[in-house]
Amino acid sequence: MTDLAELAQHLIDGHDADVARLTRDALDEGRAPAAILEQGLIAGMQVVGERFRDNIIFVPEVLVAARAMKAGLAHLEPVLAACGIEPIGTYVIGTVKGDIHDIGKNLVGMMLKGAGFRVIDLGVNTPLAKFQAAIEEHRPDIVGMSALLTTTMGQMKVNIESFRAAGLFDRLRVMVGGAAVSEDYAESIGAHAYGADAPSSVAKARSLLAELKAARA
């Protein structure tokens, strides 16, 4: 019987081949996909997030852990979908137009996946039209925008104003983050939340999601 704690530990250590192998073994043994996800992959990413938050590990270690999670999810996601197991929410994420930096955006996206979100990653240099198309297609709960540069952070405001004008804020929330962005700036442009780093972004995404679900109830 595959030890899901061992699976989690391999994920924490960034051993992608071991994570893929143990995930596949667990599925072959008939383990519940939701259990593999929660007790293996999500549990591992939870530890990674906590260690990153506490400055015990840094970006390289998080990246290899996220790569390991991706290796496990490659086996798990088709089974989860076939079982009708839904993600906790949908999150569209991208670096805004003119900006090609993606480390922060990738970290947030990976940790959101680790927290059970379905993440639609639009990549870097993302024009407003691509965000709009993704909102139309994927009906996300949250849109996250990243900008490293002072030259590109203004694009966040343009996008948010467009979302507001389109009447989207009754069904989605917007988060922003990036090196030059601050809590004050996020508030000034009408974002619903500011993500200072990947772990806090996940916490705020959960909070926004709960708020949205309460409003929908």
Partner 1 sequence: MNSRERMDTAMRLGVPDRVPVMCQLALGHYFLHAGLDAIEIWHGTHAFAEALVRLQQRYGFDGILINLPGRDPEWRKAVAKIETRGEERVITWKNGWYTEVPSDDNPHVYQADGTRYFPLFDEIDPDELFYVEPHDLSSITHPYSWGFSGERAEPGAAFFPPWHYDTIREVVRRVGGEVSVHGEIFSPFAQFMELLDYTSGLMALVDDPEKVKACLDRLADGAIELGRGQARAGAHAVLISSAFAGAGLISRDHYAQFVLPYERKVIDGIHAEHDIPIYTHTCGAIGDRLDLMEATHTQGIDTLDPPPLGTVDLAEAVAQTKGRMFIKGNLDPVNTVLFGSVDDVRAAARGRLEIAAPGGGYILSTACSVSPAAPPANIMVLREAAETWGRYDSTPR
Residue among 8, 26, 37, 64 that touches partner 1 (CB under 8 A)? 64
How far apart (Å, rounded) are the C-alpha atoms in residues 217 and 211? 10
According to CB under 8 A, which one of 35, 100, 133, 210 is a site residue for partner 1? 100
Helix axes 59-82, 16-28, angle to 10 degrees: 20
Binding mask 161-190 toward partner 1 (x if CB under 8 A, else -) reads: ------------------xx-x--x-----
User: Restricting to residues 16-55, which ones interact with partner 1 according to CB under 8 A?
Assistant: 55
Binding mask 74-93 toward partner 1 (x if CB under 8 A, else -) reads --------------------
Stretch of residues binding partner 1 (CB under 8 A), selected from 36-44, 85-93, 95-103, 157-165: 95-103
CA 145/CA 89 separation, integer angstroms = 17
Closest approach, Cβ 101 to partner 1, in A, equals 8
Rounded-to-integer distance, Cα 6 and Cα 4, Å: 5
In angstroms, what CA-CA distances link 63 with 14, 98, 187, 190? Answer: 8, 24, 29, 31
Going by C-alpha positions, the residue among 183, 171, 166 that lies closest to residue 209 is 171
CB of 131 within 8 A of CB of 159?
A: yes
How far apart are alpha carbons 22 and 112 in whole angstroms?
22
Question: Are 127 and 94 within 8 A, CB to CB?
Answer: no
Nearer to partner 1, 9 or 152 (CB): 152
Q: Least distance in Å: CB of 183 to partner 1?
A: 8
Question: How many chain residues interact with partner 1 (CB under 8 A)?
Answer: 24
Give the nearer residue to partner 1 in terms of CB position, either 4 or 160: 160
Q: Which of 34, 80, 103, 203 binds partner 1 (CB under 8 A)?
A: 103
Question: Which residue ranges make up the site for partner 1 (CB under 8 A)?
Answer: 14, 55, 57-61, 63-64, 67, 98, 100-103, 106, 149-152, 179-180, 182, 185
